[in-house]
Amino acid sequence: MSFSRLLTPRLLLDTSAMFPPSSSTVASSLSRQLRCSTRTGGSPPPHRHVARRVMSNGAPAEPAIYGGGAQQAPSAVARRVTLATLRGKHRRGEPISMVTAYDYPSGVHIDAAGFDICLVGDSAAMVAHGHDNTLPITLDLMIEHCRAVARGATRTFLVGDLPFGTYESSTAQAVASAVRVMKEGGVDSIKLEGSTPSRISAAKAIVDAGIAVMGHIGLTPQSVSALGGFRPQGKTVESAVKVIEAALALQDAGCFAVVLECVPAPVAAAATSALQIPTIGIVYHDLLGTFQHPLHAKVSPKFCKQYGNIGDAINRALSKYKQEVETQSFPGPSHTPYKLADTDVDAFLNALKKKGLDVAADAAADAVEYSEKEINGTPQLNKIYA
């Protein structure tokens, strides 16, 4: 989802009821926009460069076993989005687009759509693994999700989520977890939730270690136990002021951007105006309409706008596939392109018979006859391939 840059407070209040645009109105110097200590040039950290080079499909295309063909190398024209790219867009007042992804196909789609930032979120616990909240997902599993997205998204700036239980104990634990996500997951930065003193210390320690950090305030799903559920924040004066203070504290810790989730529009406007770093909002499955089951309503945010009905298309395709399997119209010869040479068919049948596999030889002969009739334009009821 793209969150257009806020030009006036009025524009912000006229847009999303929950999320502000992606960046603030204050045009300040680069040094004040992004205070993290990562590289400022156009090149990624060395470990990222290696991870991305190893995991990408940039090798020359070769004939593929499967009918879809080989993956094509990424376009040389599309330049990778870096922290410097985001700084420049924020300084010029250009919109910053960000969305979530959890797997390789999503990464490919997001890259092709030209998004600036992709978050590999711990919400994968809910939308990819069916949990009721984000707490169960582990660091190892998050790294696997990051690796999968990184294989597909070769130009988008990637943010990996630190899951619950991987950065709360100490700054040393936080830095160690962040390093793993960067090195093993192949991402450009990490995200952590909350603004308690321990979270601020963790964010600062990670930034001091040379890793870009994105903050996350408002509704912080990892605090579902303390919050008593998924509850919007900033709905009282005291709570609203705390949101602003939290945003400023994360900026002071060196975060390059802050996610605002489930806060009222005036609070989002105030935070966006007070900060000199971008404020961001993110979705994926909900904007595509991936989930159509009524039970999904319990994890579908009210602030999301649905731009597609992918779930309905998936359901129709699965139902059609099931029907064709049951009626034996799929699979057929056109979906079995791997052939024995004509000169080898008889030899294969004889070899089977010599082994006493007469029934298998008859089945193979029937399959050859069936394929020939289909090729010659005589439709056959598929009893061989079923």
Same domain, 236 and 90: yes
Same domain, 254 and 212: yes
Same domain, 247 and 364: no
Is position 160 within any domain?
A: yes
Res 224: pLDDT: 66
Report the distance separating Cα 308 and Cα 311, nearest Å.
9
Same domain, 293 and 337: no
Same domain, 123 and 37: yes
Q: What pTM was computed for the model?
A: 0.68
Is position 189 within any domain?
A: yes
| Structural domain count of the chain | 2
Q: Which of 315, 340, 366 is the C-terminal boundary of a domain?
A: 315
Is position 325 within any domain?
A: no
pLDDT tens across 196-250, in order?
999 999 999 999 999 999 999 987 777 766 666 656 767 788 888 888 899 999 9
Is position 320 within any domain?
A: no
Is position 20 within any domain?
A: yes
Same domain, 337 and 266: no
Provide the 8-state DSSP code for 71.
P
Beta bridge partners of 96: 3
Active site residues: 261
Is position 170 within any domain?
A: yes
- The domain that contains 180 carries what CATH number? 3.20.20.60
Q: Which of 261, 290, 315 is the C-terminal boundary of a domain?
A: 315
Q: In the block, which residue shows the tokens 């394929």?
A: 371
Report the distance separating Cα 293 and Cα 143, nearest Å.
28
Is position 233 within any domain?
A: yes
Is position 326 within any domain?
A: no
Same domain, 211 and 75: yes
Domain containing residue 89: 3-315
- To which H or E segment does residue 259 belong? strand 257-261
Report the distance separating Cα 64 and Cα 61, nearest Å.
8
Same domain, 361 and 267: no
Same domain, 309 and 349: no
Q: Which of 315, 344, 360 is the C-terminal boundary of a domain?
A: 315
Q: In the block, which residue shows the tokens 């209040």?
A: 13
Report the distance separating Cα 280 and Cα 22, nearest Å.
5
Report the distance separating Cα 260 and Cα 167, nearest Å.
20
Question: Burial, 238: exposed, middle or buried (Cβ in 10 Å; 0-12, 13-18, 19+)?
Answer: exposed
Mean pLDDT, contiguous 10-residue spans, the chain (386 residues): 31 32 33 34 41 39 44 58 94 87 90 90 90 93 97 96 95 98 98 93 98 90 67 79 91 95 82 90 59 50 64 67 72 66 86 88 84 61 44
How big is the chain, counted in residues?
386
